[in-house]
Amino acid sequence: MRQYQRIAVVFYTAILLLIQGSEAMAEERRVVFGGGCFWCMEPPFEQLEGVIDVRAGYSGGTEDDAHYSLVSSGQTEHYEAVEVRYNPEQVTYAELVELFWHQIDPTDSGGQFADRGSHYKTAIFFGDDLEKKTATASKEKLQQSGMFDKPIMTDILPRQPFYPAEEYHQDYYKKNYSHYTSYKKGSGRDYFVNTVWPQKLAQESGTYQRPSETELRTSLTDLQYKVTQKEGTEPPFNNTYWDNKAEGIYVDVVSGEPLFSSLDKFKSGTGWPSFDRPIEGKNIVEKKDRGLFSVRTEVRSKHGDSHLGHVFDDGPPSTGLRYCINSAALRFVPKEKLDSEGYGEFVELFSSDR
């Protein structure tokens, strides 16, 4: 009798686990976005907590099949797209839509960046009325924000069958990292995502702000995230700006707020960018750092709350200070681009009449 009881317990336990597993699977949802080149659309979503999987592919066409040669030659109505599988208890549909906007130029009706053609246009494919309302409201909010002078051209369309792209297209950024990074930069997308969008957000809010954790995870490199969010330190003499001699200003890579000027940069011999003063003292916050068995003065940005580096009292005679800053916490804006990137107030600093 006991043997039958054991069998019954095992049987019902197995049934319970199957039911729980099916319920967990039922929680999974899917959303499809057309954002131009699908190589560039996979990484932002794959890095987001709550996303289960992202596949590159084709969607939005009425044809019964789609593959790269047909779509790229314009023989179908399909868009290059990504299908995002996600857990709605960890990330919402609205958050995914918001992340989508920040990867594209929503005013481009003829493609995306260097990629032209209808298959590179942008679209949000909705699966039900609630998704349609959410996507439409998000689009209208972006249009009304005034962030862009041109109309928002991204389509809001009913979801069509999704056809996965060829295997060599899946996770292309992992398989061919060098070519991917070169392409993303050369196409103009990298600049738009990492420069124009933060600038637009700052202009909308009227101030410099720290992006959401989701945006930080997807817009920063691993090193930038480690330095600015985890108080990390990059290696000396092996970073972007330690020996940069160009004229311009250095802004917070997270918030865009202006921090330092090349006019105040000096060669300290430490292997990190060093400045004798900030360009905007109000954007610098100093805190006591008691790590590494010593007491130092940490330097953080006010609005982005980014860890920048430390300040020491062994600088040049002009101020006696040395702001030792991580390149990974900075973005350099050359003097020729100050006006176009929203930092026109600093143009006069580099005037020949000064």
pLDDT digits (tens, 9 = 90+) for 248-284: 999 999 988 999 999 999 999 999 999 999 998 999 9
Q: pLDDT tens, 224-250?
A: 999 999 999 999 999 999 999 999 999
**Same domain for 265 and 177:** no
| The pLDDT of residue 203 | 65
Residue 84 resides in a domain = yes
The pTM (predicted TM-score) of the whole model is 0.63
Does residue 79 or residue 26 have the better pLDDT?
Answer: 79
| The pLDDT of residue 22 | 45
Burial class (CB in 10 A: 0-12, 13-18, 19+), 195: middle
Does residue 352 or residue 49 have the better pLDDT?
Answer: 49
What average pLDDT does the structure give for the chain?
89
| CATH code for the domain of 129 | 3.30.1060.10
| The pLDDT of residue 194 | 80
Q: What percent of the chain has pLDDT over 70?
A: 90
Domain boundary among 187, 214, 235: 187
Q: pLDDT tens, 198-217?
A: 777 766 666 788 887 877 88
Look at the chain and count its residues.
354
pLDDT for residue 88 is more than 70: yes
**Same domain for 179 and 237:** no
* Exposed e or buried b per residue across 316-337, where buried means at least 16 C-beta atoms within 10 angstroms of its C-beta: eeeeebbbbbbbbbbbbbebee
**Same domain for 235 and 142:** no
**Same domain for 172 and 55:** yes
Residue 335 resides in a domain = yes
| The pLDDT of residue 3 | 57
In the chain, beta strands by DSSP E: 29-35, 51-59, 79-86, 111-112, 115-116, 122-126, 155-158, 163-164, 248-252, 258-261, 274-275, 284-289, 296-301, 307-312, 322-325, 330-334
Mean pLDDT of 145-172: 94
Q: pLDDT tens, 22-53?
A: 444 448 999 999 999 999 999 999 988 899 99
| The pLDDT of residue 11 | 55
Residue 206 resides in a domain = no
Residue 264 resides in a domain = yes
Measured distance CA(354)–CA(350) in Å, rounded: 7
**Same domain for 273 and 166:** no
| The pLDDT of residue 213 | 82
Domain boundary among 143, 163, 187: 187
**Same domain for 272 and 178:** no
User: Which of the following is catalytic: 37, 202, 284, 325?
Assistant: 37
CB atoms within 10 A of CB 140: 11
Q: Residue 331's domain spans which residues? A: 222-350
Mean pLDDT of 188-201: 83
**Same domain for 177 and 55:** yes
| The pLDDT of residue 5 | 56
Residue 193 resides in a domain = no
pLDDT for residue 354 is more than 70: no
40 is an active site residue: no
**Same domain for 227 and 171:** no
**Same domain for 292 and 342:** yes
Mean pLDDT of 8-19: 53
User: Which of the following is catalytic: 104, 201, 284, 324?
Assistant: 324
Domain boundary among 166, 187, 208: 187
Total domain count, the chain = 2
Q: pLDDT tens, 275-294?
A: 999 998 999 999 988 766 67
**Same domain for 302 and 248:** yes
Phi, psi of 150 (to 5 degrees): -95, 160
**Tokens 């958050």, located at residue:** 95
Residue 237 resides in a domain = yes
**Same domain for 181 and 317:** no
Residues 6+ apart with CB under 8 A from 231: 291, 298, 307
Residue 201 resides in a domain = no
Residue 340 resides in a domain = yes
| CATH code for the domain of 261 | 2.170.150.20
**Same domain for 90 and 134:** yes
Q: What is the DSSP string of 237-292?
A: TSSSSTT---SEEEEETTT--EEEEGGGB---SSSS-EESS-S-GGGEEEEEE--T
Measured distance CA(319)–CA(317) in Å, rounded: 5
